[in-house]
């Protein structure tokens, strides 16, 4: 394994992190247990298998070479010890309560930035594993690949990988720069045009929108998590009845749940139209050993103020079609692409400011994390539930991540614990909104 520079977006994630806003992804997996010692056995397996997964041995260090000044690189950790990353905890009666406390703790930046926390259940018939991966180490797809490397082997369908992208070396070839000047000038002009286009789209998208104060807060550094499980057949019933995509339905459920939650807590939903960032992966399928985050996004107004569940779904569908027609490289949601055109040292200096500016860009993150359709296991124990957990941007109180696994949709909710002490109310509202959509479709 050799060192290679972080991609610009990875570098942005690495530098925008703060003590109160750690930039790690999470996934809470719940397993059925055959015995009370299943959790301890799972911890032993994870530690033993981690040593054989190359991506889990990679640490991130600063780079001060002339053409990468202020950047950072992934490199193998010569002192890698899986026992520093896999931790067995005391039995707990509430996996989400434990996960919330663990999600608020930043990862150690001088070691490979990931952890696996094994949480035995007090009931003796279940245990959970909370995986944490820094966003600079992995996006959702790569985090899934890294986690799969320590689970029980499965027979995945084979598809020939495309050629791997060449690694970003630590020192670019300066000899080739003179001949590339015209190309670089054209690229710079194109970048300016794209930046102006995205900036104008961002301004248009924010005009007249009013997010709820419940979605913004002074950062407390605390975290709370919750999970909701839906039957995928119910989602398909709604989709087949009114059209659109499964993702449209799942986003509309978030809009309806926000309305219910705001009204129940007394904040009110009238006139509220928060901007939801919907991340879009730009990673090519079947790319061999992909490196770095490849993300853009769609930005849509959530029709929280509309009292009709089918009208909310129609509004989400319309907004998503508009975004898809424009493509992930255009529009306000594509702001992340501008990271590719910022010098490394500017990322280092401006990282904290970029993090603070996120609240001006969007109000809530709603992201989907793909999972394999095959059943996953650890030590022979079936994975029965899996809740993806997204990081919170500074000043934001709630993030929603969604995965579909074995006939069920799992919503993973992450909130600032002080700003949203009633996260369980929002979780219940998610389930209630699906029932409302089903009733509306049958009416």
Per-residue pLDDT, averaged over 228-247, amounts to 96
The residues facing 127 across adjacent strands are 31, 120
Model confidence at 144, in pLDDT bands (50, 70, 90)?
confident
Residue 171 has pLDDT above 70, yes or no: no
Could you give the 3-state DSSP secondary structure of residue 320?
A: helix
* pLDDT confidence of residue 291: 55
| pLDDT per residue as tens digits for the range 403-433 | 999 999 999 999 999 999 999 999 999 999 9
Rounded distance, CA 344 to CA 197, Å?
Answer: 23
Distances in Å between the Cα of 207 and the Cα atoms of 301, 316, 388 are 11, 18, 31
Burial bucket for residue 237 (CB in 10 Å: 0-12, 13-18, 19+): middle
Q: Sign of the C-alpha dihedral, residues 350, 352, 356, 361?
A: positive
Rounded distance, CA 281 to CA 90, Å?
Answer: 37
| pLDDT per residue as tens digits for the range 377-396 | 999 999 999 999 999 988 88
Model confidence at 372, in pLDDT bands (50, 70, 90)?
confident
Q: Is there a contact between 347 and 8 (Cβ–Cβ < 8 Å)? A: yes
User: Token pair for residue 11?
Assistant: 């570098």
Per-residue pLDDT, averaged over 146-166, amounts to 66
Could you give the 3-state DSSP secondary structure of residue 255?
A: helix
User: Token pair for residue 205?
Assistant: 């998208």
Which position has the token pair 């409302």?
A: 436
Model confidence at 325, in pLDDT bands (50, 70, 90)?
confident
Residue 31 has pLDDT above 80, yes or no: yes
Distances in Å between the Cα of 331 and the Cα atoms of 132, 277, 323, 357 are 31, 12, 8, 17
- Return the CA Rg of the chain: 22
* pLDDT confidence of residue 158: 43
| pLDDT per residue as tens digits for the range 82-133 | 999 999 999 999 999 999 999 999 999 999 999 999 999 999 999 999 999 9
Rounded distance, CA 333 to CA 276, Å?
Answer: 9
Residue 186 has pLDDT above 50, yes or no: no
Rounded distance, CA 225 to CA 204, Å?
Answer: 33
As a whole number, the mean pLDDT across the chain is 83
């Amino acid at each position: 394994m050799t060192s290679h520079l972080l991609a610009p977006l990875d570098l942005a994630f690495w530098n925008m992190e703060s003590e109160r806003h750690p930039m790690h992804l999470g996934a809470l997996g719940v397993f059925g247990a055959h015995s009370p010692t299943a959790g301890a056995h799972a911890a032993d397996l994870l530690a033993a298998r981690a040593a054989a997964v190359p991506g889990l041995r990679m640490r991130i260090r600063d780079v001060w070479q002339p053409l990468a000044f202020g950047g950072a690189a992934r490199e193998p950790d010569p002192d890698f010890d899986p026992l520093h990353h896999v931790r067995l905890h005391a039995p707990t009666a509430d996996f989400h309560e434990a996960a919330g406390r663990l999600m608020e703790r930043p990862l150690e930046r001088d070691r490979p930035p990931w952890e696996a926390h094994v949480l035995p259940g007090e009931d003796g018939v279940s245990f959970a594993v909370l995986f944490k991966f820094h966003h600079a180490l992995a996006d959702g797809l790569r985090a899934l690949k890294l986690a799969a490397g320590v689970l029980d082997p499965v027979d995945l369908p084979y598809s020939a990988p495309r050629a791997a992208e060449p690694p970003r070396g630590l020192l670019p070839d300066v000899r080739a720069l003179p001949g590339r000047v015209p190309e670089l000038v054209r690229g710079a002009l194109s970048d300016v045009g794209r930046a102006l286009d995205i900036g104008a789209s961002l301004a248009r998208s924010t005009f007249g929108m009013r997010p709820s104060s419940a979605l913004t807060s002074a950062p407390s550094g605390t975290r709370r998590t919750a999970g909701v499980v839906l039957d995928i057949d119910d989602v398909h019933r709604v989709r087949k009845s009114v059209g659109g995509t499964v993702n449209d339905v799942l986003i509309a459920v978030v809009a309806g749940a926000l309305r219910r939650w705001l009204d129940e807590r007394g904040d009110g939903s009238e006139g509220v139209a928060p901007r939801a960032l919907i991340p879009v992966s730009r990673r090519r399928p079947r790319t061999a050993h992909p490196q770095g985050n490849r993300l853009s996004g769609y930005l849509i107004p959530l029709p929280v103020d509309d009292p009709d569940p089918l009208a909310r779904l129609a509004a989400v569908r319309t907004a998503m079609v508009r975004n898809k027609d424009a493509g992930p490289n255009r529009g306000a949601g594509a702001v992340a692409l501008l990271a590719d055109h910022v010098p490394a040292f500017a990322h280092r200096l401006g990282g904290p400011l970029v993090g603070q500016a996120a609240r001006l860009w969007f109000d809530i993150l709603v992201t989907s994390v793909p999972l394999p359709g095959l059943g996953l296991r650890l030590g022979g124990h079936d994975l029965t539930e899996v809740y993806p957990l997204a990081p919170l941007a500074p000043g934001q109180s709630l993030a929603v991540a969604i995965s579909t696994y074995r006939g069920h949709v799992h919503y993973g909710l992450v909130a600032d614990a002080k700003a949203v002490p009633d996260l369980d109310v929002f979780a219940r509202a998610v389930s209630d909104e699906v029932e409302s959509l089903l009733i509306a479709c049958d009416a």
